[in-house]
Structure 1
Amino acid sequence: MVRKKDKFWEHVQQLGPSRFKCNYCELDYSGSVTRVKAHLACLTGHDVQICTKVPDHVQAEASAEMNLSASKKKRTNETLESGIGSTSSLGRSIHQTTMVELAAKQDKKSLEKMIGEFFVKNNISFNVIQTESFIQMMKGACAYGQGFVIPSYSTLRTRLIPEAKVEIIEYVSNIKSTWGGTGCTIMSDSWTDLKKRSWVNVIAYSPGGAVFLKCIDCGSNSITAGYLFREISNVIEMLGPQHVVQFVSDNGANYNCCGDMLIGKWSHMYRTNCAAHGINLLLKDIHKHVRWVRKIIDDGKHVVDYMHRHTTIIALMREFTNAKEIKQPCKTS
């Protein structure tokens, strides 16, 4: 008969001397209470499938129980190894401290190494480490402490992502509901990725907030005025022309012509050139035609380039500027 001493037997139904059925996902399997805990904790490698419907609090309890059992087993093994080592000529334990143990002792370098390995092994862009969401995630995990249980793949797929999707849909719906009173501005620009592919972004902005509407893959099409007019007209028709009061774009000839064509189709709309792009072109002309400005900017580029080529100098700069970085010039479309 199955022993009932462990509280986790309450989460399964007994079908036989050593066979059970999960109360949540109704999976039929056999084994000891360890398999029950592994199943509920969604841990792989215990010859049992993970539970896809286990409540979060049950999963957290099972995970904590499995971690406690693993820690007890590990301490027992270390004690045995220490005893064996004391009777040998080596006189030391064969246990090697792990990266997680070092991080728990507030070893900053070990934690930084784990973060670096996470980015490299998962092929994640290094720019992600500067995003507010990543920073808040790390701060939240550190503030929660060692008791935090990482969500399982099933929890991420079946609960967290769908909940985030619902929040985004609600956010967009709330903004769109304000367009009847305020209208919205359509903003568009084009850009080229590292593989030389052309894209066109279309964004709607209003006092309620901004909504990313579409990213158009231009493929083999040239970004002509006619092509932009067709694509952006489709977006405006989808939103409802009565909600669009303005079209903002860069100062390129194709966008200027596209804006004129849109106003010709919907006379209530306004066309406005992007102020940031205009300032960018103005500064570019100043750099091109004013010699002393060009010399100062070029000298500044040489200084930045020199500092970033010498790790010692850049380290000193960060030390005396409270870890501030020098913004390097880059190309924009």
Structure 2
Amino acid sequence: MAFYEVEHSALLKSLQLLEPGVKLPSSFQLVMTYLNGAYSKSLCVMQVELEGQIVTIVTDGWTDMNGLAVINYVADARKKTYFLKSVYTGAQTHDAAFLAADIKRVIEKYDFLHVGAVVADNIAANKSAWELLQPDFPRVFFYGCACHALHLLVKDAIFMMTWLNGLISSCKLIVSFFITKVWP
């Protein structure tokens, strides 16, 4: 739900049926007070829970439903994963210099993390970014994601099975329908 929706009169009336004295914050209060407070609290919790642990930062580039390029960053520590940041990159090309600067920005922003490794897609730009980052982070191990490599392998294998082309086309039509008609 968008933050401005909290000011819609129908929402307030609906909630007042359940709790007559309820008062909702403005969208400004929601963003500036409550969201910032929740973010600060989550950082404190993460800092306490990860004290003394070595984490792996995992990056994942993808495209959202609107066709916008996004890079997500999470910290993986033993049995828990912590969301760090989501970056909409716009028209910015994901070249080695950009990726290296972005990864460095994330590592420096969360300076309380003890980063032992960074995992990313197995694309050439990431491999070049690792070479750029290695001098600044000599104790951090940079490597490609095994799942991403396996995904590419399976994708190539399926592409060679021409008898699946009809099924693949039908699946793409179904996905396209949901993206354009159900989630516009």
Q: Does structure 2 retain, via aligned residues, the 8 Å contact 1:172–1:211?
A: no
The gaps in structure 1 that reach 5 residues or longer are 1-121, 123-146, 309-325
Q: Following the alignment from structure 1 to structure 2, what is the Cα–Cα distance between the partners of residues 155 and 288? A: 52
2:46 to 175, 193, 196: 175
2:165 to 298, 322, 330: 298
**For residues 71-106 of structure 1, what are the alpha-carbon distances to aligned partners after superposition, in whole Å with 9 as ceiling and x for unaligned?**
xxxxxxxxxxxxxxxxxxxxxxxxxxxxxxxxxxxx
1:210 aligns to what?
Answer: 81
Distance 1:242 1:211, change over 3 A: closer
Is structure 2 residue 149 aligned with structure 1 residue 278? yes
Corresponding pairs, count: 165
Structure showing greater radius of gyration is: 1
**For residues 162-207 of structure 1, what are the alpha-carbon distances to aligned partners after superposition, in whole Å with 9 as ceiling and x for unaligned?**
5676455333322222333112211112233455543322222223
| Amino acid corresponding to residue 92 of structure 2 in structure 1 | N
1:321 aligns to what?
Answer: none
**Cα offset, 1:267, TM superposition:** 1.6
Q: Does structure 2 retain, via aligned residues, the 8 Å contact 1:190–1:199?
A: yes
* Secondary structure in structure 1 of the residue aligned to 2:122: coil
Q: Following the alignment from structure 2 to structure 1, what is the Cα–Cα distance between the partners of residues 46 and 79? A: 5
**Cα offset, 1:226, TM superposition:** 0.9
Q: Following the alignment from structure 1 to structure 2, what is the Cα–Cα distance between the partners of residues 164 and 235? A: 20
1:230 to 88, 101, 121: 101
Q: Following the alignment from structure 2 to structure 1, what is the Cα–Cα distance between the partners of residues 79 and 93? A: 34
Distance 1:192 1:158, change over 3 A: closer
Distance 1:191 1:299, change over 3 A: closer
1:252 aligns to what?
Answer: 123
**Cα offset, 1:225, TM superposition:** 0.4
Is structure 2 residue 19 aligned with structure 1 residue 149? yes
TM-score (norm. length: structure 1): 0.40
**Identical residues among aligned pairs (%):** 21
The gaps in structure 2 that reach 5 residues or longer are 6-16, 180-184
Q: Following the alignment from structure 2 to structure 1, what is the Cα–Cα distance between the partners of residues 172 and 87? A: 36
2:59 to 188, 197, 222: 188
1:316 aligns to what?
Answer: none
| Amino acid corresponding to residue 118 of structure 2 in structure 1 | F
* Secondary structure in structure 1 of the residue aligned to 2:42: helix
**Cα offset, 1:281, TM superposition:** 0.2
| Amino acid corresponding to residue 148 of structure 1 in structure 2 | L
